[in-house]
Amino acid sequence: MTIVTSIFMFGFLPVFLLVYYLSGQKIKKYVLLLGSICFYAFTLQKAVIWILLLCVLVYLMSLLYSVFKKKHQLFSDIICMVTIAFLVVLLFFTHSLADVLQKIYDMAGIYFNRQIITDSFPIGFSFLCFSMISYMTDLYRGEILAEKNLFSLCTYFLMFPKMLMGPLEKYPDFKSQMLQPAVSFQHTGEGMTRFILGFCKKVIIADNLALLVGQVMWVTDFSKLSVTSLWLISICYSLELFIDISAYYDCALGLAQMLGFRLREGFDYPYCADNMKHFWSRWNMTLVQWFKEYIYRPLAAGSTRKIQSLTAFLMTVFLFIIWHGCKVNFFICGGIFLGFLLIERYLVQIEKQKKSVQLLWRIFMLVVINICWVFVYFPDMGQAVSFCMGMFGLTNNSLFSADIFRDVREYGIYILGAIFVVTPACVKLKEWIQEHDRYGVLAIISPIILLALFIWAMSFVMVNGYQEFLFQKF
């Protein structure tokens, strides 16, 4: 069960919201915790027990740290650092363990059942570790006090809208909202609207683009496809990747708003960024900010030397890649991004260049990003390289073919919709309509449009079924 399945939307969510809204202010957090546990019992199954035990362990370690902090500073620091180190190991190495073991077993010609690892460390486990490391680190820094209420802390760790893929919240920000959730008809309506729009983005745009992109997954000879077809497919995957992940954030933030929580935004039109640094400051913002605050800054702290800053930066990027997966494709993709970032950081000051140069740089950057996502898409290294070579006509590809006209005709509306979504055009259009809407027409037609989009999305689901989010495949 995920947050876009029928059993969740028409079964779990209505029942949970009814109980949550009818509950008193003081017990809402307990209802949220119980609902989250039930959600994970369906979604993560047996792993939910292991996750609950981990939550209790972190709670106990934080209390021990708080108890011994004044009289036994060294002992309390050891407790905290050992706990953080344990969580770091779980975060960075268990996630890649299946990839490493798979390579070893493949080389030995032995069958390896990855399900053993994925069942123990399921989807969402990484973001649970992120929250736990954040909590323990802030506790060690003295920025927060240890939470004495086990249920409050577990609610922070396990709140179901945010655990599977974020957004990542710091405990003080979350706690202030948990004590007094802003539940109202307005917030519920706004949250429901955003949830439905996220669902529609996923099903109508991202999943249809996936049908076009999926045509090349099992292609062995990319020389038979034209250059324009390959570029179209790669661009569609770039659009699909962003829309799919951002759609999840829309659903998660919408659900949280229904519960009276305002969580941090995850994306800010990254494809409209001026340079690669700005791109990564707009892409999955809470995750990037976490790596910056809890990895880069501690490693770079206390020194003004460029070499230490560079070392800290390289280590942060390396851990960021490792977290995504220990695969050659990810390292190549990460290496390309890293090279681009280093060029911007030490060789090119793009902000000081002419506007024409900045424009060319942005185009070049988008091309580079598009190529990087090719390596993310293909699990096989040979396929990724062959595809990229075909994009530049290096495998004797024709420039045009009849296929591209068929694809544009069949998927053109979804491509245009994707372009509309990945740029601020949608927001600008809404603002313009609101500015010129003297008679309140928008307030009348908005629910109708929203309902029509939802019905349209459900029709796709009935035909093609529910497609899992892309992050579930990594």
- With beta carbons less than 8 A apart as the criterion, state whether 7 and 85 touch: no
- With beta carbons less than 8 A apart as the criterion, state whether 253 and 194 touch: yes
State pLDDT tens for residues 454-468.
Answer: 888 888 888 777 777
Q: How much is the pLDDT for 291?
A: 92
Q: How much is the pLDDT for 100?
A: 61
Q: How would residue 446 be classed by pLDDT, with cut points 50, 70 and 90? A: confident
- Which has the higher per-residue pLDDT, 405 or 149? 149
Q: Give the pLDDT mean for 213-232.
A: 80
Q: How much is the pLDDT for 425?
A: 80
Residue (of 201, 161, 369) closest to 277 by Cα position: 369
Q: How would residue 120 be classed by pLDDT, with cut points 50, 70 and 90? A: low
Half-sphere exposure of 236 (CA within 13 A, CB side): 27
Q: How much is the pLDDT for 276?
A: 87
Could you tell me the residue ranges of all domains in the chain?
6-181, 187-473
Q: How would residue 273 be classed by pLDDT, with cut points 50, 70 and 90? A: confident
DSSP states along 323-346? HH-S-HHHHHHHHHHHHHHHIIII
State pLDDT tens for residues 16-49.
Answer: 999 999 988 888 889 999 998 888 887 777 778 8
pLDDT(116) > 60: no
Q: How much is the pLDDT for 96?
A: 63
Q: Which amino acid is at 54?
A: L
State pLDDT tens for residues 46-92.
Answer: 778 888 899 999 999 999 988 887 777 788 888 899 999 989 888 87
Contacts with 354 (C-beta within 8 Å, 6 or more apart), sequence order = none
Q: List Cα–Cα distances, 94 to 100, 101, 114, 325, 473, in angstroms.
A: 10, 11, 12, 10, 16
Q: Which amino acid is at 422?
A: V
Distance CA 306, CA 148 (A): 42
pLDDT(365) > 60: yes
Sign, CA dihedral 196-198-204-207, equals negative
Q: How much is the pLDDT for 448?
A: 86
Q: How much is the pLDDT for 135?
A: 93
pTM above 0.75, yes or no: yes
